[in-house]
């Protein structure tokens, strides 16, 4: 049709049925890598098999680990036939790029304008060729834009030529390819990295990491590591199956061999190495990226898995996205109605709803400054936002460091009402009153959160039918041990586990008899049902305490969601 055009992002040909969604999807926690089926219970495509389909959605969202899931789907023959986006997208594009660059398995990625995207979404099937997309009488020309002008420094060119070894050359090729795709004019130095690809999302993560480690890859900047999928020192004693525990531990070991610091935490902003305002860093892990940009004022794109390592190996990142001042502006203002006397459950709900209302652009959240959110409140907000939005940061009016003047001149506005909050709360509490597991620490718990949980339990013992587990980084656990907080939690029957992440916790560490979970994490309330197959309910730390002590979590809205509280 006249005026329609598709832009080829990654070359390739494909055909298959069209599977289209108006809502973005996170492949990590949203797609089962073993089957290609959508497991995100909150997504419109839930239950749909994506294998062999022309998958269309505005962009991706959520976890940076989606690139690893897509790579595994490609290598296992379970991937979509092609990806078609309406907006710029990095996470899945990077997974497809790695498949083509390192494994010779191309998967076409295209971007369409809004009208062409809408027209193709209505088709039953499509065929993608080098010159056009053909679908049900529709023909959309495919353009192949010339690569942008990317200026590489002499050191970049030397790295490409192998001066720093074969692994660094491979990493620089991948960084360069992403920079060209993003339209970056040049690369910039970063002062540190954070690796998300050490989570065992699929065998492809291990294949990539060991291939790079076997090429004697070594990071060039200080680089921390995300939570992994097992308690590294204790998984055998915990009864984790060797078929999962061994490759998960090998994956972590491969990154340590490459010089990464074995921090094993999804909250690197709690470490003594946390970046300062204005520093250019290269972090992956969605919650950490949003927190670093929004709360710390550091600068990092939402780097996909695999690109995080490539940047750490080269010390160079594409100068694009929120590394640039103009791209840190808010394109949408979200006016939240502030209830009276909110508790800690309010903040993950705000983050979750902000992401749903601003899935593809940076928002300015207005109306909440009077509630004076703590650092842990902002941690919960950022984690939930990173689950439902593709944006790498947000602003909270009167709270976050870059919020003043953050709204772009053409920013639109959306009002978030009490009724909206109640509907989202009910959606995240679709589960039974009786619970068998309380999950704290997604992202990893801070020392203040550990103290607050110990204080709330006040020496009382957990209910016999309930497991209560806190996940935290080693630095936090060591501090909790030194001050006696760890002993107080353990005296109440709470397990405090290092290294692993709720979004990849294996059985039987995740108790097998669990039917329903209570959590204070908006992130895990979203991902948990699809990943664990259990009902997961969201609540405050007080709600989690009640569930720990009684085995029950009354199904009711919090006091601040009652109409009289507004």
DSSP 210-270: HHHHHTT---SS-EEE--BSS-TTTTTTTT--HHHHHHHHHHHHHHHHTT-B----S-GGG
Per-residue pLDDT at 4: 87
Count of other CB atoms within 10 angstroms of residue 239: 12
Backbone angles phi, psi at 469, to 5 degrees: -130, 130
Q: Are 267 and 443 in contact (CB under 8 A)?
A: yes
**In contact, 142 and 109? CB cutoff 8 Å:** no
513: enclosing H helix or E strand: none
pTM over 0.75: yes
Handedness of CA 470, 474, 476, 478 (dihedral sign): positive
23, 43 contact by CB (below 8 A): yes
* pLDDT of amino acid 566: 62
Strand partners, 381: none
* Distance set, CA 218 to CA 159, 167, 260, 311, 313 (Å): 13, 8, 8, 11, 6
pLDDT tens digit sequence for 84-136:
999 999 999 999 999 998 899 999 999 999 999 999 999 999 999 999 999 98
- The model's confidence at residue 565, banded by pLDDT at 50, 70 and 90, is low
pLDDT of residue 264: 98
Q: What is the pLDDT of residues 469-523, one digit of tens each?
A: 999 999 999 999 999 999 999 999 999 999 999 998 999 999 999 999 999 999 9
pLDDT of residue 562: 84
Residue 208 — very low, low, confident or very high, per pLDDT cuts 50/70/90?
very high
pLDDT higher than 60, residue 2: no
Cα(302)–Cα(136) distance, rounded to whole angstroms? 36
* Closest to 330 measured CA to CA, from 306, 301, 354, 305: 354
Q: pLDDT tens-digit profile of 269-281? A: 999 999 999 999 9
Distance between CA 433 and CA 123 in Å, rounded?
A: 44
Whole-angstrom Cα distance, residue 416 to residue 517? 28
Domain 154-323: CATH architecture, name and number where available: 2-Layer Sandwich (3.30)
Cα(21)–Cα(57) distance, rounded to whole angstroms?
5
Q: State the catalytic residues.
A: 63
Domain with CATH 3.30.499.10 in the chain: 428-561
For the stretch 410-449, pLDDT in tens is: 999 999 999 999 999 999 998 999 999 999 999 999 999 9
pLDDT tops 90 at residue 181: no
The angle subtended at Cα 248 by Cα 242 and Cα 249, nearest 5°, is 85
How many angstroms separate the CA atoms of 277 and 264, rounded?
23
Token digits of residue 13: 């040909």
Identify the residue with better confidence: 133 or 181: 133
Give the ranges where 7-65 is alpha helix by DSSP (H).
Answer: none
Backbone angles phi, psi at 178, to 5 degrees: -70, -35
Statement: residue 564 has pLDDT above 60 = no
CATH superfamily name and code, 428-561: Aconitase, domain 3 (3.30.499.10)
Q: Where in the chain is the domain with CATH 3.50.30.10?
A: 6-143
pLDDT digits (tens, 9 = 90+) for 330-363: 999 999 999 999 999 999 999 999 999 999 999 9
| Inter-residue contact 342 to 371 (CB < 8 Å) | yes
1 confidence band (pLDDT: 50, 70, 90) = low
Domain range 6-143, its CATH number among 3.40.50.1980, 3.30.2010.10, 3.40.50.620, 3.50.30.10: 3.50.30.10
Residue 519 CA to residue 47 CA, distance in Å, equals 25
């Amino acid at each position: 049709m006249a005026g329609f055009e598709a832009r080829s992002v990654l070359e390739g040909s494909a055909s298959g049925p069209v599977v289209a969604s108006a809502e973005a999807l996170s492949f990590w926690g949203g797609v089962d890598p073993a089957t290609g089926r959508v497991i995100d219970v909150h997504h419109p495509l839930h239950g749909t098999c994506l294998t062999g389909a022309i998958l269309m959605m505005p962009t991706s969202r959520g976890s940076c680990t989606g690139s690893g899931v897509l790579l595994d789907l490609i290598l296992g023959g379970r991937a979509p036939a092609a990806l078609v986006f309406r907006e710029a997208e990095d996470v899945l594009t990077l997974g497809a790029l790695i498949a083509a660059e390192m494994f010779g398995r191309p998967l076409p990625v295209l971007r369409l304008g809004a009208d062409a995207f809408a027209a193709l979404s209505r088709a039953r099937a499509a065929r993608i060729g080098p010159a056009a997309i053909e679908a049900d009488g529709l023909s959309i020309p495919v353009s192949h834009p010339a690569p942008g002008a990317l200026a590489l420094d002499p050191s970049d060119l030397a790295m490409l030529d192998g001066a720093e070894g074969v692994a660094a050359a491979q990493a620089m090729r991948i960084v360069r390819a992403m920079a060209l795709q993003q339209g970056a004019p040049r690369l910039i130095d970063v002062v540190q990295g954070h690796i998300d690809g050490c989570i065992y999302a699929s065998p492809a993560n291990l294949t990539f990491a060991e291939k790079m480690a076997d090429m004697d890859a070594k990071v060039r900047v200080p680089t921390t590591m995300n939570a992994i999928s097992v308690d590294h020192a204790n998984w055998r004693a915990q009864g984790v199956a060797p078929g999962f525990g061994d490759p998960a531990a090998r994956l972590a070991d491969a990154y340590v061999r490459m010089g990464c610091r074995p921090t094993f935490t999804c909250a690197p902003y709690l470490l003594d190495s946390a970046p300062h305002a204005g520093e250019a860093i290269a972090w992956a892990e969605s919650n950490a990226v949003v927190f670093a940009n929004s709360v710390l004022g550091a600068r990092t794109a939402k780097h996909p898995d695999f690109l995080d390592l490539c940047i750490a190996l080269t010390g160079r990142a594409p100068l694009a996205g929120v590394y640039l001042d103009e791209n840190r502006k808010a394109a949408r203002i979200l006016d939240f109605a502030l209830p009276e006397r909110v508790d800690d459950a309010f903040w993950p709900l705000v983050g979750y709803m902000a992401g749903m209302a601003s899935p593809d652009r940076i928002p300015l959240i207005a109306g909440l400054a009077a509630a004076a959110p703590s650092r842990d409140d902002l941690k919960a907000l950022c984690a939930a936002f990173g689950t439902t939005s593709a944006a790498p940061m947000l602003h909270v009016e009167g709270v976050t460091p870059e919020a003043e003047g953050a709204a772009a001149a053409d920013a639109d506005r959306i009002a978030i009402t009490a009724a909206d909050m109640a509907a989202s709360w009910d959606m995240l509490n679709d589960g039974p009153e009786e619970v068998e597991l309380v999950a704290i620490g997604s992202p990893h718990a801070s020392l203040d959160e550990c103290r607050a949980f110990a204080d709330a339990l006040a020496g009382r013992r957990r209910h016999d039918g309930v497991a209560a587990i806190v996940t935290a980084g080693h630095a936090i656990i060591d501090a909790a041990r030194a001050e006696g907080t760890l002993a107080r939690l353990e005296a109440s029957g709470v397990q405090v586990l290092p290294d692993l992440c709720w979004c990849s916790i294996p059985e039987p560490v995740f108790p097998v008899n669990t039917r329903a979970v209570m959590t204070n994490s908006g992130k895990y309330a979203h991902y948990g049902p699809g990943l664990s197959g259990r009902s997961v309910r969201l609540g405050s730390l007080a709600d989690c305490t009640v569930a720990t002590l009684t085995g029950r979590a009354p199904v009711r809205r919090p006091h601040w969601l009652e109409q009289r509280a507004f």
